[in-house]
Amino acid sequence: MKLLIKNGVVIDPANKIEEKLDLLIVNNIISRKEKNIVDNQAKIIDAEGCIVTPGFIDMHTHLREPGFEYKETIETGSKAAAKGGFTTICCMPNTNPPIDNQAMVEFINMKSKQVGIVDVLPVGTITKAREGNELSPIGELVKAGAVAISDDGNCVANSEIMRRVLQYTQMFDIPVIDHCEDISLTSEGVMNEGYYSTLLGLKGIPAAAEEIMVARDILLAKDFGGRIHIAHISTEGSVEIIRWGKKVGVNVTAEVTPHHFTLDDSMLQTYDTNYKMKPPLRSKSDIKAIKKGLKDGIIDVIATDHAPHAELDKHVEFNIATDGIIGLETAFPLIITELVHTKVLNLQEAIAKITFNPAKILKLKKGSLSEGEVADIVISNIDKEVLITEDFFASRSTNSPFLGMKLKGSIEKVIKNGKIIYEEGGN
């Protein structure tokens, strides 16, 4: 089958292209990328008024299967990813049982191939059962197909364990993704520590709880090597510590979520549990620093931290509600609305953080529109409004603080391996 995408503006950060070009796809491969292509045998897709980009890559998705299928499954999460423009997602290992052995990696691979919508890449655990005591069989995890390791949801508190994993993973050249949280400082905390936690009478989580572990990880990587990737940063201090790490040559990368550059702790005054997450929503000054970090390239990646939860997890008292929100479907509109239209980032910079940059960190042959590459492509309209309602989501869960919002940035079509897997208004 041939597809010919015409009249769109191609945004390809990997090749530094931003130009009105046609794309010809032949046998699932990008065959030609030039102006005014004519092929009478190809199915024409008119991308007038749209941008054409590589398929998005999410480094941080929770699919909940196995163990919590009432929240999300590999199938429903894959559908949510496709609707959001993500053709590749990395599923985090805090399932039940966790992804801490070869069989579990193989299970994820098997299920995702059966579903066959997007590429689902397993992230294995750093430690067995994510308990922080004993290293997982990392070699077996990588051999089975794990692209990174993380105890996400838990921080690796033991510095000797983190030192050993940074040293050991050098032979596999994979990133160690750490959820940075000093739990001795966050115990029973439910929101950012500051003015609003005092006003609302809710126990706070200080910025230092994140920053201490960010600094520790970077210092360990500085002295012992390895590739450290800091998950979902939320504070100004974290940005500056990572800035220092990059300056002195540490192999450190970092990600931020759309909700952490969009929402602040003042919004918890409604006691809406959809604003409850870890790390918590921080202050307006933290958001300002995060946006600067994105612009400066200190923050390499925008990841969703898609965390689906059922109503029974969220519609309870604030103190006992589960942390996290869904994010696959709202990530692109938030990037366009909060970063591109406000001129924090240009389109090249924004698209790089969800395509080329995560592909580079994970060493994937993805994230570009180079000729000869597999055709994973997103066609989107950055000026078209979308209304976020429960019906908007393909995810099994609808725990989102963005319900009722109008945002700019509509995913019009998503092509995976040369086949259309999502069309706006179609599925």
Q: Does residue 269 carry a pLDDT above 80?
A: yes
Confidence of residue 372 (pLDDT cuts 50, 70, 90): very high
Model confidence over 312-324: pLDDT tens digits?
999 999 999 999 9
264 an active-site residue?
no
Q: What is the mean pLDDT of the chain?
A: 97
**Per-residue model confidence (pLDDT) at position 248:** 98
Mean pLDDT confidence for 387-395: 97
Q: Does residue 133 carry a pLDDT above 80?
A: yes
Mean pLDDT confidence for 240-259: 98
Confidence of residue 426 (pLDDT cuts 50, 70, 90): confident
* Joined tokens for residue 292: 């600067």
**Per-residue model confidence (pLDDT) at position 160:** 98
DSSP string, 109-147: HHHHHHH-SSEEEEEE-SBGGG-SSSB--HHHHHHHT--
120 Cβ partners below 8 Å, 6+ apart?
63, 74, 77, 78, 89, 91, 108, 109, 111, 112
**Per-residue model confidence (pLDDT) at position 427:** 52
Q: Does residue 205 carry a pLDDT above 60?
A: yes
CA distance 82 to 395: 10
Model confidence over 152-200: pLDDT tens digits?
999 999 999 999 999 999 999 999 999 999 999 998 999 999 999 999 9
**Per-residue model confidence (pLDDT) at position 187:** 87
pTM over 0.85: yes
Three-state DSSP class for residue 302: strand
The crossing angle, in degrees rounded to 10, of helices 74-84 and 102-115 is 60
Q: Cα–Cα distances in Å, from 424 out to 4, 34, 105, 380, 427?
A: 18, 26, 32, 10, 7
Q: Does residue 305 carry a pLDDT above 80?
A: yes
H/E element, 160: helix 159-168
Mean pLDDT confidence for 263-289: 98
Confidence of residue 212 (pLDDT cuts 50, 70, 90): very high
Complete domains list, the chain, with CATH = 2-52+373-423 (2.30.40.10), 55-362 (3.20.20.140)
The CB-side HSE value for 38 (13 A sphere, CA atoms) comes to 0
Catalytic residue among 305, 313, 376, 391: 305
**Per-residue model confidence (pLDDT) at position 425:** 81
CA distance 338 to 327: 15
Model confidence over 9-36: pLDDT tens digits?
999 999 999 999 999 999 999 999 999 9
Mean pLDDT confidence for 88-103: 98
> Each residue of 170-202: b (16+ CB within 10 Å) or e?
eebebbbbbbbbbeebbeebbbbbbebbeebeb
